[in-house]
Amino acid sequence: MCEEITYDAETFILDKFEFENGKILEDVLVEYTTFGEPKYDSEGKMNNVVVYCHGSAGNYNSVKKIHPLTEDIFTEDKYFFISFSALGTPNSCSPSTTGLKHDFPEYTIKDIVNFKRKFLKEKFGIEKIHGVIGNSLGGYMALTWAANYPEEVEFIISLVSGFKTAGANYASSKIVQRIIESDPNYLTGEDDESLKRTLQMAALMEFPLGFSRDYYAERDNEELDLSISDYCEEVILDNIYDIKFRNDAGLLYNIEDKLKNITAKVLIIAINEDRYFPPKFDAIPMSKLIKNSKLVIYDSKLGHIGSVEIKKIEKEFKEFLNSL
């Protein structure tokens, strides 16, 4: 669905990282990519940095989702993009990468944001960024960044996301949590095959929510069987501990009482057919709670996955960026 493009990955090691719960890890790995041309102000500080935050199933290369907009809007001569594999994601510091499995420190969305902030400061000396773009779970990160550190961000774009985990989104995430915890091998890390089967069952809980009702209705049962099988094959490549910790971080997310702190200009993008974040319950009330926000809603039979059709609102993107 996304254009087949791959950005080159780089890595950096943080001496240490302290989680909100006080736990500390040393020699912390960060996987990231950059593209575009950095620009500097009179004090020699970068002033055109845009950070991309991926969703729950992504990594640093998920920035390709906005690639259709880079030629005309996010041109590389205007912006310097930095995209990470977030805390908890393979090839950055995560339960699987560190080998800590279920002993990995529990983390929050704010921890993920602080992980990125620490990297930006240590690697590039960046303490203020031009903007943050976040897709789905990445939208949680963008909003958390702007709400907790309002002086650090000039604009944010929340793409198919929300200000709290609730409704069907909460229910499916809670069931995923229970399915994973039900496997007696989860705490021991033994019996790889059992853990892979459990992960498949947990992930399948989310399959019916990914696309719109019309998308499923327009496909016969044979097509759906093939889609489910393909989905299972993809899931088997994931790590049950990475999925579990990321899922738990999302379950804790609720910044409704902090939205008033946001001073950045905000573009909220939603999809009418999104079953994870229906605009009625997420984007629309969020737009009323955030000053300086603009709301754009479009249609896509792809539902939550419809963010890959972002080109549909190119005009609104241009208008927003021109208003900055």
Per-residue pLDDT band at 236 (split at 50, 70, 90): low
Per-residue pLDDT band at 237 (split at 50, 70, 90): low
- Taking residues 213-226, report their average pLDDT: 93
User: Three-state DSSP class for 104?
Assistant: coil
Tokens 């991926």 — which residue?
54
Do the strands 24-36 and 80-85 form a parallel or antiparallel pair, or are they unpaired? Answer: antiparallel
State pLDDT tens for residues 167-194: 989 999 999 999 999 999 999 888 888 9
Q: Catalytic residue at 242?
A: no
Helix 240-251 vs helix 109-119: angle between axes, to the nearest 10 degrees?
A: 110
- Taking residues 113-119, report their average pLDDT: 98
pLDDT greater than 80 at residue 131 = yes
- C-alpha 158/C-alpha 132 separation (Å) is 8
Which of 111, 183, 274, 282 is the catalytic position? 274
Distance of CA 124 to the CA centre of its chain: 22
- C-alpha 50/C-alpha 63 separation (Å) is 11
State pLDDT tens for residues 5-55: 788 999 999 999 999 999 999 999 999 999 999 999 999 999 999 999 999
pLDDT for the residue 57:
85
Give the pTM: 0.94
pLDDT for the residue 3:
52
- Taking residues 279-299, report their average pLDDT: 97
pLDDT for the residue 238:
84
DSSP string, 210-252: HS-HHHHHTS-HHHHHHHHHHHHHHHTTS-HHHHHHHHHHHHT
Neighbours of 123 (CB within 10 A): 16
pLDDT greater than 80 at residue 4 = no
CA dihedral 128→131→136→138, nearest 10 degrees, is -20
State pLDDT tens for residues 52-81: 999 998 899 999 888 878 767 887 788 999
Per-residue pLDDT band at 227 (split at 50, 70, 90): confident
